[in-house]
Amino acid sequence: MAEKDKPWFLRTPTRWTHVRAVPLKRLWVLMTAVFLLFSVIGFYVDLNWSRGEMPYAVVVAIAVSSGLNAVLWIVVLSRLSRLFLIGLIVLQFFNSSFNTFLANWMIRTFNLQPVTSEAGIHFASTATMCVVIVSYVFFVAYIRREGLESFRMQNELKLAHGIQKTLVPPVTLRSTRFDVYGISCPSDKVGGDLVDALYLSNGDAIAYLADIAGHGLQAGILMGMLKSAARTALLDSGGCEPDRTLPVLLDRLNSVLPGVKEPHMYATFTGFRLGADGSVFYAVAASPPILHWHAAERLLSRKDEPQIPLGLLPVPNFDGEMLQTAPGDLVVVATDGILEVCNKPEEEYGVERLKEVIAANVSDSLPELAEKILASVRRFGAQLDDQTILIMRRL
């Protein structure tokens, strides 16, 4: 059962995500530090309840019990569900009774005698200072170790971002009939958005935009595979029928991706074949809407194609369509990282706001229009996903 589908009392608290991700072979350092720090409670009980006259063995036993109780909190919060958390909270109401029972049992069983107040106070205060110092040492060791691990992960993340920028640079292509511009702004996490454009051998051009589901290195690696596979498949597509180029490409990608990805991953795709004669053919796979600015009528239309994403199901054949364009027309496609940005009232940026920005800036150059779209999105809400735009203008 997925975490989000569990009842609230069975879910693992999300604030402890970091501790939950730390392996136990590294977490023991933190547990030791917490154990020592909270063992001070045992010495405090001796000083506060009996003015230092409690037998040493009893003081140590209560200190151990208090430390183990604190460690149990870490185990429950980082490894177990909230059902155990409820039981742990209930257990705290019996701590005092348990310590009293433990002290009385040890005194009766082992015939322990009280110590002098002066000696007991000296023992409790010295022990308190010692365990606090040692716990501090373990805390520093844990922070230092995790700091080094965090530094290593940050370096790997920077490397992954560098690879992503190499694979997805800003795209500029200009043919006799079309001007193409694409840009992808990655989020803090490594993502899988892709925008690309290339010439075919006969003078036509291909421009496409894809989005790999998810984040992290897996999405980034799959994005690189998809780009390589797409460019390889398009090498000899110049002589292919214009209306079949992209459907054939989608069929090939859909057959290749399942063997190189995790079962839950998939890709959305929107591709265009831009003919040297001004024709436009397109094909999509579960992509966001295609927005079309008609220059002559000065209006925006949208096309939604209910297709299956790539890599999920063995779809036999993908379809392609022709897009009628005229000089001055604009075609814009934006990924979910733009359309699904939310503001504080949890409203999505959506297609309508994107259409307003396009309509207000249709005369701008394509890079300027892309920057105004991204600026509008940044003002609207925080970026949580890669934000990628593909814009084409009929010349």
- 39 and 178 within one domain: no
What pLDDT sits at residue 66?
94
The DSSP letter of residue 342 is B
Instruction: State which of 160, 195, 227 marks the end of a domain.
Output: 160
pLDDT, average across residues 20-34:
82
- 229 and 304 within one domain: yes
The three-class DSSP label of residue 272 is strand
The three-class DSSP label of residue 290 is strand
Cα–Cα distance between 51 and 143 in angstroms, integer?
36
What beta strand segments (E) does the chain contain?
171-174, 178-185, 193-199, 205-212, 267-274, 280-285, 290-294, 299-303, 321-322, 330-334, 387-394
Per-residue pLDDT of 135-178, as tens digits, reads: 999 999 988 888 777 767 676 667 666 666 677 889 999 999 99
Cα–Cα distance between 271 and 286 in angstroms, integer?
12
- 72 and 55 within one domain: yes
Per-residue pLDDT of 67-81, as tens digits, reads: 999 999 988 887 787
Instruction: State which of 115, 141, 160 marks the end of a domain.
Output: 160
Joined together, the tokens standing for residue 227 give 């780009």
- 352 and 287 within one domain: yes
- 381 and 301 within one domain: yes
pTM above 0.85, yes or no: no
Reported confidence tier of residue 305, pLDDT bands at 50, 70, 90: confident
- 80 and 41 within one domain: yes
- 80 and 42 within one domain: yes
Cα–Cα distance between 287 and 300 in angstroms, integer?
18
Cα–Cα distance between 374 and 387 in angstroms, integer?
8
What is the residue range of 55's domain?
A: 3-160
Residue 58 has pLDDT above 90, yes or no: yes
- 156 and 193 within one domain: no
Reported confidence tier of residue 219, pLDDT bands at 50, 70, 90: confident
Reported confidence tier of residue 1, pLDDT bands at 50, 70, 90: very low
- 113 and 241 within one domain: no
Q: What is the CATH number of the domain that holds 182?
A: 3.60.40.10
- 255 and 286 within one domain: yes
From the list 201, 259, 198, the residue with the least C-alpha distance to 231 is 198
Per-residue pLDDT of 349-395, as tens digits, reads: 999 999 999 999 999 999 999 999 999 999 999 998 889 999 999 99
The three-class DSSP label of residue 62 is helix
Cα–Cα distance between 142 and 18 in angstroms, integer?
13
Q: Look over the chain and give the mean of its residue pLDDT values, rounded to a whole number.
A: 87
Q: What residues have CB less than 8 Å from 132, skipping those under 6 apart?
A: 36, 37, 40
Domain count across the chain: 2
The DSSP letter of residue 157 is H
The DSSP letter of residue 80 is S
- 150 and 8 within one domain: yes
Per-residue pLDDT of 247-268, as tens digits, reads: 999 999 999 888 888 888 899 9
